[in-house]
Amino acid sequence: MTYSSPTMLVYCLTKGFLSKSLTIGVSLGLTQYRENYALLPPGTSLIMYIVLIPFAIIFLYGLYIRLRVYGFNALLTLSKDFRSWFTQSLKYSILQRRIVREIIPGIMHLTTSYGILVLSIGTLLVFIDSDFLEPFNQKLLHGAFYLIFEFILDLFGLFLIFGIILQLTRRYGGVKRLKPRLEYYIYLWGLLFIGVSGFLLESIRISVTQPPWSSYSFIGNMISEIIMNSGIPSGVLKNLYNVLWWSHAITAFGLIAALPYTNLRHTIVSFIYTGLTYSAPRPPQLAKTPFKLSEVDLSSTEEFKIGFRKISDLDWLQKMGLDACTDCGRCEAVCPAYSSGTPLSPRNLVQKLMKIMWKHRSRLERDLIESKDLGYDEIYACTTCGGCVEQCPVVISPLEYIIEARRAFILDGKMEKKAIETLNSLTRLENPYGLPKTEREALVKELRELGAKTIDEHPEPEYIYWVGCLATYDPRIRNVARKMVEILSKAGVDFAILGTLERCTGEPARRMGEEGLFQELALKNIETLKSINAKKLIVHCPHCYQIFKNEYRELGLEIEVIHHSVLLRSLMSRGRIKPKISIDTLITFHDSCYIARFNNIINEPRELLTSLKFKEMERRGRDTFCCGAGGGNYWSEVKRVKRESLQRLEEAMKINAEAIIVECPYCIAMLEDAVRVMGLEEKIKILDISEVF
Ligand code: SF4
Ligand code: SF4
């Protein structure tokens, strides 16, 4: 059976001829088949393998070095949970879920990566066919299978060229996010050469041998017609073919050899790495818990490792994560610390660590804090907003390295003044302000007057309303606590407050890297909540929400945590509360990182605002932009050129918002400060979502 055209092939396939043609090992004497090493002198195959040897050695040595740095036991871990690995890899590497979020870069990466993949598989099949089967008088690339093979290879060759041209256009077009590193240009041009020369080789082969099935190689066939019409003698074409074939092969070998040493390595490493991130701490978890205070044997002299100051402190997956970085800059583009002009760029941090790991591969014990490779301002500028992790196409968490590095800075005691004061206040007075208990007592008195009962007065409430430090000690934020108590009382919610039993959750300490202090406070809070048999907790602070919901659990507290936006939505849907704000005011909503991005609560607060004049800002939901307070930045000082809160306020002003509704006390404090700095008190208000009612 012959297939003179693709249409005929489709017809024959439906008739079941493909299965016959797919049989590997039919004897030669076929109708359609691939003529390997056509137009090349005899012995080319052997010479090619000899030429390949040094490239293969360079490649394998690079691979060995990388594996030695990760630790060879990394290989064992790969095989542990194949199913989880595959599911995760399918999402992020095969379907490239995050890459395609951006249309142009998504198309660019899909076409390039699948172009490379399919052409590599195709080349491998050609080698098997020519060098392993043909010597035994067998053939793989023949019949319908071969025709499909030719068609697919042309199609994906086209994809590759398209993707590379798009990449080069973006790079030469000056897309800011893309770094103009020579290495990138070299391999992009190399790949383009491979794609174009592949088509030229195919078209010369077709024009000289003129197989009747050439229409399946639809691109090669088209170019071959031009070549045939040009009248170039076949001798010249054969010589040209020879030169082109070797240039094509050597460029491909060169790129393979360069793979472990250049950014190209991400093609392999990220495929393995993304799958393995199922076991890594990713939001809502920020980093691994380094120890459990309740289990630490204080009499033991055994030292345990905390934090990251040397590459050797990283586990093998964290090391591999550095190599998986594609240098795409998506993390940098969303990083509030970067956009506010601090020394932190999550991309630069990961790339820097990768280069250090590579450069000092024999001295992984180099102290990166002493050598100033890790700077205090760089590490402490991070607001732990999680934006970088959310965006990273290969699921790297720059945040994880930052938190680990902070733990090392803390051990050195190399903190700036305000941070030290905060930590001292937390240690002495169990609140970050360093204010006396009388302040809390004053608020409790006020809340009781508004209808709240303390846990002593009402020992078995359905809910505990956790007031939090900002609402306790900051006069402006106290209004949120007042509002909440008013709403809860009027709506008939059965609740109590802890009163003077409440203390800081320890969140600022943990974010600054002071794990011991965090756990001390956490254990005390857990004991308090367990002693009163608390089952449900209402919080208005996203930082408290994140801690209670996702971080205390590991230390022994299982409790239902409800953010006030969710509770208010439920009360409104039951008709127990109604918005009081004027419907003529144009409002917008600012999502909190810990609520929207870490805990995926996005619609509930918006549903509270549906009856009002509402307009969204550009960055919203999981793509929100941090106010700048997180990660302990509210409690310490890292210089910024333009604060995050000012940038966010400008974004709201751009849509002419007259009020920004927020769901976090830190956001109120930061944005109100920005309003004062910009002198916009008459133009825009900052309100907590509870203050809408
Ligand atoms: S967590 Fe946020 S602030 Fe920190 S590096 Fe990532 S994007 Fe930047
Ligand atoms: S860390 Fe992720 S998002 Fe950032 S540059 Fe590397 S690959 Fe891109």
pLDDT digits (tens, 9 = 90+) for 244-299: 999 999 999 999 999 999 999 999 999 999 999 998 999 999 999 999 999 887 77
Burial of 449 (0-12, 13-18, 19+ CB in 10 A): exposed
Ligand 2 atom with minimal separation from the 391 CA: 3
Q: Is residue 319 included in any domain, yes or no?
A: yes
> Tokens representing 48?
């090619």
| Spatial contact of 651 and 624, defined as CB atoms under 8 Å apart | no
Nearest protein CA to atom 2 of ligand 2, as residue: 392
pLDDT score recorded for residue 35: 84
Q: Is residue 1 included in any domain, yes or no?
A: no
State whether the beta carbon of 328 lies less than 6 angstroms from ligand 2: yes
Question: Which residues lie below 8 Å from residue 314, measured CB to CB, with a gap of 6+?
Answer: 308, 322, 401, 404
State whether the beta carbon of 480 lies less than 6 angstroms from ligand 2: no
Q: Which of 507, 541, 573 is the last residue of a domain?
A: 573
Pocket of ligand 2, candidates 181, 263, 345, 347: which has the most ligand atoms within 8 Å of its Cβ, to mutate? Answer: 347
Domain shared by 479 and 528, yes or no: yes
| Total length of the chain | 693
Domain shared by 438 and 548, yes or no: yes
| Spatial contact of 110 and 94, defined as CB atoms under 8 Å apart | no
Residue 347 Cα to ligand 2 midpoint, Å, equals 6
CATH of residue 312: 1.10.1060
Report d(CA 307, CA 402) in Å as an integer: 9
Nearest protein CA to atom 8 of ligand 2, as residue: 328
State whether the beta carbon of 263 lies less than 6 angstroms from ligand 2: no
State whether the beta carbon of 266 lies less than 6 angstroms from ligand 2: no
Nearest protein CA to atom 8 of ligand 1, as residue: 335
Domain shared by 409 and 441, yes or no: no
pLDDT score recorded for residue 12: 43
Domain shared by 129 and 213, yes or no: yes
Which of the ligands is closest to the CA of residue 378? 1
Which of the ligands is closest to the CA of residue 334? 1
Q: Is residue 452 included in any domain, yes or no?
A: yes
Domain shared by 325 and 450, yes or no: no
Domain shared by 544 and 601, yes or no: no
Ligand 1 atom with minimal separation from the 381 CA: 3
pLDDT score recorded for residue 13: 45
Domain shared by 546 and 595, yes or no: no
Helix, strand, coil share (%) of the chain residues, nearest 5? 60, 5, 35
How many helices and strands, by DSSP H and E, does the chain display?
Answer: 29, 7
Which of the ligands is closest to the CA of residue 339? 1
State whether the beta carbon of 321 lies less than 6 angstroms from ligand 2: no
Alpha helices in 493-575 (DSSP H): 507-512, 515-531, 542-546, 564-573
Domain shared by 210 and 256, yes or no: yes
Task: Determine the structural domain holding residue 17 and report its residue range.
Answer: 6-21+29-72+80-265
State whether the beta carbon of 394 lies less than 6 angstroms from ligand 2: yes
Domain shared by 453 and 326, yes or no: no
Q: State which amino acid sits at residue 131.
A: D
Low-confidence ranges of the chain (pLDDT < 70): 1-30, 78-79, 301
Report d(CA 378, CA 353) in Å as an integer: 13
Q: Which of 206, 231, 265 is the last residue of a domain?
A: 265
Residue 311 Cα to ligand 2 midpoint, Å, equals 19
Strands 495-497 and 463-466: parallel
Q: Is residue 137 included in any domain, yes or no?
A: yes
Domain shared by 524 and 393, yes or no: no
State whether the beta carbon of 346 lies less than 6 angstroms from ligand 2: yes
Domain shared by 644 and 600, yes or no: yes
State whether the beta carbon of 521 lies less than 6 angstroms from ligand 2: no
User: Rounded to a whole number, what is the distance in angstroms from the first to the last CA of the chain?
Assistant: 78
SS3 53: helix
Q: Which residues line ligand 1 (CB under 6 A)?
A: 334-337, 344, 346, 382-388, 398-399
Alpha helices in 79-102 (DSSP H): 82-89
CATH of residue 606: 3.40.50
Domain shared by 158 and 249, yes or no: yes
Q: Is residue 428 included in any domain, yes or no?
A: no
pLDDT score recorded for residue 178: 92
pLDDT score recorded for residue 30: 59
Q: Which of 202, 236, 265 is the last residue of a domain?
A: 265
State whether the beta carbon of 327 lies less than 6 angstroms from ligand 2: yes
Pocket of ligand 2, candidates 96, 282, 331: which has the most ligand atoms within 8 Å of its Cβ, to mutate? Answer: 331
Cis peptide before 212 (omega within 30 of 0): no
State whether the beta carbon of 398 lies less than 6 angstroms from ligand 2: yes
DSSP 371: T
Digit-coded pLDDT (tens) for 186-241: 999 999 999 999 999 999 999 999 999 999 999 999 999 999 999 999 999 999 99
Report d(CA 269, CA 260) in Å as an integer: 9
State whether the beta carbon of 347 lies less than 6 angstroms from ligand 2: yes
pLDDT score recorded for residue 18: 38
| Spatial contact of 323 and 66, defined as CB atoms under 8 Å apart | yes
State whether the beta carbon of 330 lies less than 6 angstroms from ligand 2: yes
Residue 402 Cα to ligand 1 midpoint, Å, equals 9
pLDDT score recorded for residue 17: 37
How many CB atoms are closer than 10 A to CB 321? Answer: 29
Which of the ligands is closest to the CA of residue 350? 2
Nearest protein CA to atom 2 of ligand 1, as residue: 385
Residue 600 Cα to ligand 2 midpoint, Å, equals 22
Q: Is residue 421 included in any domain, yes or no?
A: no
Ligand 1 atom with minimal separation from the 389 CA: 6
Which of the ligands is closest to the CA of residue 286? 1
Which of the ligands is closest to the CA of residue 109? 2
Report d(CA 42, CA 35) in Å as an integer: 13
CATH of residue 253: 1.20.950
State whether the beta carbon of 276 lies less than 6 angstroms from ligand 2: no
Residue 340 Cα to ligand 1 midpoint, Å, equals 11
| Spatial contact of 211 and 2, defined as CB atoms under 8 Å apart | no
pLDDT score recorded for residue 80: 76
Q: Is residue 515 included in any domain, yes or no?
A: yes
- CA-closest candidate to residue 398, choices 316, 329, 340: 329
Q: Is residue 670 included in any domain, yes or no?
A: yes
Pocket of ligand 1, candidates 332, 380, 382: which has the most ligand atoms within 8 Å of its Cβ, to mutate? Answer: 382
What's the domain count of the chain?
Answer: 4
> Tokens representing 422?
């905060």
State whether the beta carbon of 419 lies less than 6 angstroms from ligand 2: no
State whether the beta carbon of 425 lies less than 6 angstroms from ligand 2: no
Digit-coded pLDDT (tens) for 451-499: 999 999 999 999 999 999 999 999 999 999 999 999 999 999 999 999 9
